[in-house]
A and B are shown apart, each in its own frame.
Chain A
């Protein structure tokens, strides 16, 4: 508490003020504050007509660790999960040296508000994306660590889920140091805080549960039983039950495995909407495939189906609109 106050005073910058780096001499103009974390304030800044996010801190240690993580993130090929790193420098403010780093500005809605606006049917789709990104991260030897809705941003116009706070990212095998209790398997007594892919998958499970319990809840000491009971109480969570059970108990070896099960759940939901549940049940074994490539194919498959549905709908809509116009003209 006290630390935050001094941090705020030291790192407080007004809109319009300039931050100039001591080493690289680049100049950034503050536009507004984006957020304030435990160890720094993030500003939206402008340099040469481009927008960036700039994190300023009075705690050199944590900010340098984050910079290291961001740098290694950009080495993870094909992963667009975190913001890309631009540069790190020091800002001298009234004689005191404040370290800062500059990264890509990720613009969009935060995850929970997005779901609120667009509907809960988006949760599954966004989690699919997240699991794909996590898989790339895990393959490169990293675990995200502090996965939670507050750290997820959905960009537009192409809805893509990205992460804005990479402070919890940890090398596999080391200890996770930044986490949030509700999303931490250690808190629920369901595993250690040693970074492994299962740690992130647990958090993904909790994000889904969080969407049904926006107010969250505390542990009562019963461990998995408590979570299982709460899942059963929400009908929107029931389709995910099997998958959540495996994720929360660390039974998925990879993000891809969990993703496959999620694909199955989602395609089941689509089928049940279109053709009734009995047929969906018979379809299940064919969509549930163990390998990556097949999983991707089955996903494309369901995408095509959805695309076809949309096409039909569009055609019908256009024809009926033309017909209405025709009748309207006839009446005149």
Chain B
């Protein structure tokens, strides 16, 4: 009953942005709004260059999320793992802040003896299981990503399988960038089921620019702005209302 909503952006890309705002600056804005950004860099036979690597790490860092570079074959496992890990991280962050208020002098979970930490961790696990989750998936569909898109689709289906096994509700939406006319294009509106991802998805690809920064900025506007993360710990009136209906 104490579950709130965790909001994440999952950025799947294979390299550097080359258009518009600095992506890590946009990630910082997301974080301010309580939205975590995770970044997965997908490689196949190609390698992501140093600059791309740095950017991927920096976006996740600014966005308070997790980043990982993987080969396309391992994408499913990674998408699931990264999402899960970021959820735990966010919840832990909230709990740490609460602990600091209770214990004072900037103490965190790590300063507790292992047994107590275990008890706190049970609460974290519990919240991770019962919280609502909203993941906005942002897929880079620039030319080099084209042959990786079927794998990306599979991994997204796999992600919804994992997340829907939780007790809390999960909702996803899918955006691609660059879009046909704009920097970013909506493919799928908020839905619990990614099966709806069309058959055309793997065939999408547009050449040219990679506007990662503008894509993140645009994506942020699709989250409803409400409540702070502290809502995770307090009783959530809105959910109560929804459930009683």
Contacts of B70 in A (CB 8 A): 1
**Could you tell me if B165 and A3 are in contact, using CB atoms closer than 8 angstroms?**
no
In the bound assembly, the distance between CA atoms of A90 and B28 in angstroms comes to 33
CB proximity of B75 to chain A, nearest CB, Å? 12
Contacts of A174 in B (CB 8 A): 129, 165-167
Q: Does B101 contact A (CB under 8 A)?
A: no
For A90, the closest partner residue in chain B by CB is B114
In the bound assembly, the distance between CA atoms of A101 and B80 in angstroms comes to 26
Q: Does A19 contact B (CB under 8 A)?
A: no
Within 8 A of B (CB), among A64-119: 64-65, 67-68, 71, 87-90, 97, 99, 101
In the bound assembly, the distance between CA atoms of A181 and B118 in angstroms comes to 29
Among candidates B113, B121, B162, residue contacting A193 with C-beta atoms closer than 8 Å: B162
User: A60-B110, A61-B88, A175-B129 are contacts. A192–B164 as well, Cβ < 8 Å?
Assistant: yes
Q: Does A177 contact B (CB under 8 A)?
A: yes
For B108, the closest partner residue in chain A by CB is A60
For B115, the closest partner residue in chain A by CB is A88
In the bound assembly, the distance between CA atoms of A99 and B109 in angstroms comes to 12
Contacts of B161 in A (CB 8 A): 186, 192-193
**Could you tell me if B118 and A2 are in contact, using CB atoms closer than 8 angstroms?**
no
Q: Does B92 contact A (CB under 8 A)?
A: yes
Q: Does B68 contact A (CB under 8 A)?
A: yes
Most buried by B among A2, A64, A174, A186: A64
**Could you tell me if A61 and B158 are in contact, using CB atoms closer than 8 angstroms?**
no
CB proximity of B144 to chain A, nearest CB, Å? 20
Contacts of B158 in A (CB 8 A): 186-187
**Could you tell me if A67 and B114 are in contact, using CB atoms closer than 8 angstroms?**
yes
Within 8 A of B (CB), among A107-147: none
**Could you tell me if B114 and A64 are in contact, using CB atoms closer than 8 angstroms?**
yes
**Could you tell me if B76 and A181 are in contact, using CB atoms closer than 8 angstroms?**
yes
CB proximity of B139 to chain A, nearest CB, Å? 21
Judged by DSSP, the binding face of A is mixed
User: A2-B69, A175-B129, A186-B158 are contacts. A64–B164 as well, Cβ < 8 Å?
Assistant: no
Q: Does A194 contact B (CB under 8 A)?
A: yes
Interface size class of B (residues with CB under 8 A): 20 to 34
Q: Does A176 contact B (CB under 8 A)?
A: yes
CB proximity of B213 to chain A, nearest CB, Å? 23
Judged by DSSP, the binding face of B is helix
Q: Does B84 contact A (CB under 8 A)?
A: yes
For A61, the closest partner residue in chain B by CB is B88
**Could you tell me if B118 and A68 are in contact, using CB atoms closer than 8 angstroms?**
yes
In the bound assembly, the distance between CA atoms of A3 and B70 in angstroms comes to 11
Interface size class of A (residues with CB under 8 A): 20 to 34
In the bound assembly, the distance between CA atoms of A60 and B114 in angstroms comes to 10
In the complex, per-residue mask of B105-137: 1 if CB is within 8 Å of any chain A CB, else 0:
000011001110110011011000100000000
**Could you tell me if B124 and A177 are in contact, using CB atoms closer than 8 angstroms?**
no
Among candidates B89, B118, B129, residue contacting A67 with C-beta atoms closer than 8 Å: B118
Q: Does A217 contact B (CB under 8 A)?
A: no
For A68, the closest partner residue in chain B by CB is B118
Contacts of A193 in B (CB 8 A): 161-162, 165
Contacts of B114 in A (CB 8 A): 23, 64, 67, 87-90, 99, 101
Contacts of B122 in A (CB 8 A): 68
Within 8 A of A (CB), among B153-168: 158, 161-167
Within 8 A of B (CB), among A1-39: 1-3, 23
In the bound assembly, the distance between CA atoms of A68 and B110 in angstroms comes to 16
CB proximity of B106 to chain A, nearest CB, Å? 15
Contacts of A64 in B (CB 8 A): 114, 117-118, 121
Among candidates B80, B89, B92, B118, residue contacting A71 with C-beta atoms closer than 8 Å: B118
Most buried by B among A71, A88, A101, A195: A88
CB proximity of A95 to chain B, nearest CB, Å? 13
In the bound assembly, the distance between CA atoms of A177 and B110 in angstroms comes to 23
Q: Does A173 contact B (CB under 8 A)?
A: yes
Contacts of A89 in B (CB 8 A): 114
A residues with CB within 8 A of B: 1-3, 23, 60-61, 64-65, 67-68, 71, 87-90, 97, 99, 101, 173-177, 181, 186-187, 192-195
Given A71-B118, A175-B167; 16 other pairs, CB 8 A cutoff: A60-B109, A61-B124, A64-B114, A64-B121, A68-B121, A87-B114, A88-B114, A88-B115, A99-B114, A99-B117, A174-B129, A186-B161, A187-B76, A192-B164, A194-B165, A195-B165
B residues with CB within 8 A of A: 68-70, 76-77, 80, 84, 88-89, 92, 109-110, 113-115, 117-118, 121-122, 124-125, 129, 158, 161-167
9 examples of A-B residue contacts, CB within 8 angstroms: A61-B88, A61-B89, A61-B92, A88-B114, A97-B110, A173-B167, A175-B165, A186-B162, A194-B165
